[in-house]
Chain A
């Protein structure tokens, strides 16, 4: 396949090495980190208004976190060797250390927090359900069936402590993804100390927007009324985080424009040509400025509840699309220009190949299937939980 090239590329640079699958990887981990941080608002910072999304946010984070390594795995030339990263890690490699950050986050933070939060429900269900479901819940109790008041209090305290650790861990998780790109000194599009920070804030933006949309969708599907106090609060946090995220990105951009180092002409040309649609139109105008303006207007105008819901849905959707475009522009954009700064290549996305569009679409559907299973297994909303009368409801179910 002939790849169109403009100007001069080093001969080995013409073919892009990191495909759409590597775009998915920061996008998905961003959703995880953002969803967790939204959950921690309720748990640690006692923002009571967002309580209805607490458990949904945790389950969303878990569903996406389970899928996060799959695009990487699919992308590897030798997936069968991927465990070597854990068995014989190269300690100077940012990528090798990410494996441990991921494991820490999955095992020590997310799974533990969800288990502690749901332990009471799991124990009750292991006694009330029948057949295979009973076995599943019995397995999930991990043999811990004590639901005395004191025991639940210990769960609550421990859960709080884990969330406390979880916030820096979520920052670490996605900040580290930013570091994987930001530490590549050979690539001026990536190499920036701001990269981890921008990644953290964009993660929060995408995670909050995704949970907000999932909350609206799931509430509608269940025929329930959306808690507008909750929705307004989430939208408010989304706006604040987005403003910080956008400011950081603009600072980075202004610095680059003013400095105009040797790579600038090349990067500037790229933004005005190959990345014009994905960066300027989709990421900045549609995916950032528009949602910020919409969310900002909701803060100052008096609008009916129904209209606010539509605006939030629109702003949330544009936000998620905008953050995906941002990941695209970082990963793909960073490979479109030559390290000689003398030319540009093109990304030809295949469809039904190992690194094509089809597996990417399937990988983006997978977390929603996992989330559906998780929601069925561990209902995040109180009315679905068949907690028998007299049993003490655990945290988040009251």
Chain B
């Protein structure tokens, strides 16, 4: 194809726009994904979770998560009567294959899916000595595995236990909120497969996102609010015993 002066004038601005996405590592998003017009979060509706483990399996498959490590997992809580400060919690294989029936018929049982909270003021990004982990302009906490030293300071700094050292890459690993999917207009793998809709991807910068209506009309909490991390995974119907 011959490059004329007229064609060059047309191509250059388009290339300049695309370059921003190339630098961000998401060239596939260039034509229609605007980083700054999103602020990603997730809504977890605890009463809807049945602990089937589909989300954990889907996440592991989608993101090639090594066996024994978890970007997302499910915890089963058992709170006996008034003992809200001492719940019994279990998460066999991260809840990947569901849970065995609970034999104790007293008290209450419920499931709590966990994942990275994609904190706005995340302690993990604060402590990274080289800035290999960062908050993207659209609100997702990511790790640049080509830059991470593998010092594991971020793993220590995460109050929620969401990070691990990937034994394949020897770098810090965690939930990316399926960044490769959401920047193409898809939802996350875990939300995609959840049979009850207990997990919902939310865009806080999109005024039309149903999250806003939900947050207005429900008593919603975040995990460990006293940590002041700006967590963006919102839990509906969360019991006070949840850690």
Interface residues of A (CB under 8 A from B): 8-13, 15, 17-18, 72, 75-78, 81-82, 84-85, 88-90, 92-96, 99, 180, 183-187, 262, 335, 338-342
A95 near B151 with CB under 8 A, answer yes
Q: Which of B43-51, B125-133, B201-209, B232-240 contacts A (4 or more CB under 8 A)?
A: B125-133
Contacts of B73 in A (CB 8 A): 10-11
Q: Is the CB of A17 within 8 A of B165?
A: yes
Does residue B37 face the partner (Cβ distance < 8 Å to A)? no
Binary A-proximity of B147-165 (CB < 8 A = 1, otherwise 0): 1111111011111111111
Which residues of chain B have C-beta atoms less than 8 A from A92's C-beta? Answer: 126-127
- Please give the distance in Å from A351's CB to the nearest CB on chain B: 19
Task: Kindly list chain A residues whose C-beta atoms are within 8 Å of the C-beta of B94.
Answer: 11
**Residues in chain A near residue B151, CB distance under 8 A:** 72, 75-77, 95
- Interface status of B114 (Cβ within 8 A of chain A): yes
Of B114, B128, B150, B170, the residue contacting A10 (CB under 8 A) is B114
Q: List 13 A-B contacts (CB under 8 A).
A: A11-B94, A12-B164, A13-B161, A75-B151, A76-B151, A81-B130, A81-B149, A94-B127, A183-B127, A184-B123, A184-B157, A185-B227, A186-B123
Q: Quick check: is B18 within 8 A (CB to CB) of the other chain?
A: no
The reply on B61 being an interface residue by CB < 8 A is no
Asked if B62 is at the interface of the complex by the 8 Å CB criterion, the answer is no
Contact between chains at B149 and A82 (CB < 8 Å)? yes
Q: Are B89 and A339 in contact (CB under 8 A)?
A: no
Question: Does A84 lie within 8 Å of B156, measured CB to CB?
Answer: no
Please, which residues of chain B bring their CB within 8 A of the CB of A184? 123, 127, 156-157
Complex Cα gap A265–B238 (Å): 23
B200 at the interface (CB under 8 A from A): no
**In the complex, are the beta carbons of B150 and A76 less than 8 A apart?**
yes
Q: Using known A-B contacts A12-B164, A13-B161, A185-B159, determine if residue A78 contacts B129 with beta carbons closer than 8 Å.
A: no
Question: Which residues on A sit within 8 Å (CB–CB) of B111?
Answer: none
A72 nearest CB neighbor, chain B only: B151
Q: A75-B151, A186-B157 are in contact. List 5 more A-B contacts (CB 8 A).
A: A17-B155, A183-B127, A185-B227, A339-B160, A340-B161
Which of A8, A11, A78, A88 is the one whose CB lies under 8 Å from B70?
A11
With beta carbons under 8 angstroms apart, the residue of A17, A90, A99 that contacts B156 is A17
